[in-house]
Amino acid sequence: MSQADEQAAKALVERLEQIKAMDRSEMSSAEKKELRQETKAIKKELKALGGGIYISAGAVIIILLLLILFF
């Protein structure tokens, strides 16, 4: 990950923390919806910045079982 990517990721994480710290009890439903959409977009962007391959726990177990059966 490049320096610019790291800085962008830090800024996004800081924004997520700001959103979590907000008092949403006084917000309208439209404002809450906007925050949810922003949170989803930030999480998607963070996932794209992180890169890598993600394997679920179930997939790992199946792969291990197949390896044991074939070898």
pLDDT at residue 15 is higher than 70:
yes
Interatomic CA distance for residues 48 and 64, integer angstroms: 28
CB neighbours (10 Å) of residue 51? 8
CA–CA gap between residue 59 and residue 68 (Å, rounded) = 14
- pTM attached to this predicted model: 0.64
pLDDT tens digits, residue range 22-54? 998 999 999 999 999 999 999 998 888 876 667
